[in-house]
Amino acid sequence: MNNKKTGVILITFFIVLGISFLGYYYKVSHGAKKVMLPIIGADQNHHVQPFSFKNQEGKVITEKDVQGKICVVSYFFATCKGICPRMNENMTKVYKAFQGNKNVIILSHTVDPKKDTVEALKAYSLRFDADPQQWMFLTGDKKQLYDMARYSYLISAEDDTAGVKIESDFIHDKHYSLVDKYGRIRGFYDGLDQNDINKLISDINKLLQEKE
Mean pLDDT for the stretch of residues 1-13: 56
**92 and 50 assigned to the same domain:** yes
pLDDT at 20: 54
> Are residue 30 and residue 60 in the same domain, yes or no?
no
Phi, psi of 194, deg, nearest 5: -65, -35
pLDDT tens digits, one per residue of 10-24: 566 556 455 555 554
Count of domains in the chain?
A: 2
Are 157 and 102 contained in the same domain?
yes
Question: Does the pLDDT value for residue 159 go beyond 50?
Answer: no
Q: How many CA atoms lie within 13 A of 203 on its CB side?
A: 23
User: Is 110 found in the same domain as 77?
Assistant: yes
Q: Inform me whether the pLDDT recorded for 170 exceeds 80.
A: no
Rounded to two decimals, the pTM is 0.79
Q: What is the pLDDT of residue 82?
A: 84
Confidence band, pLDDT 50/70/90 cuts, at residue 6: low
Round to whole Å and give the CA distance between 71 and 179.
5
Q: What is the CATH number of the domain that holds 83?
A: 3.40.30.10
Whether 78 and 179 share a structural domain: yes
Q: At 170, is the secondary structure helix, strand, or coil?
A: coil
Q: Within this chain, do residues 52 and 129 fall inside the same structural domain, yes or no?
A: yes
Kindly list the distances between the CA atom of residue 4 and the CA atoms of 1, 9, 16, 95, 175, in Å, as whole numbers in the listed order: 5, 9, 18, 66, 70
Residue 208 has pLDDT above 60, yes or no: yes
Residue, of 172 and 186, whose pLDDT is higher = 186
Asked if 16 and 115 sit in the same domain, the reply is no
For residue 133, CA distances in Å to 64, 81, 96, 136 come to 14, 27, 14, 7
> What pLDDT, on a 0 to 100 scale, did the predictor assign at position 19?
58
Residue range 18-60, pLDDT digits in tens: 555 555 444 444 443 455 899 999 888 999 999 999 999 999 9
Euclidean distance between CA atoms 119 and 99, whole angstroms: 23
Looking at every residue in the chain, the average pLDDT score rounds to: 84
Is the same domain home to 126 and 87?
yes
Q: What three-state secondary structure class fits 27?
A: helix
Cα distance between residue 71 and residue 61, in whole Å: 13
Among 69-73, 118-122, 187-191, 207-211, the minimum mean pLDDT is found in 207-211
Q: Which domain holds residue 187?
A: 42-209
Please report the pLDDT score of residue 42 as a whole number.
87
| Same domain? 19 vs 48 | no
pLDDT at 74: 96
Q: pLDDT digit string (tens) for 89-118?
A: 999 999 999 999 999 999 999 999 999 999
Least trusted range by pLDDT, from 58-72, 75-89, 132-146 = 75-89
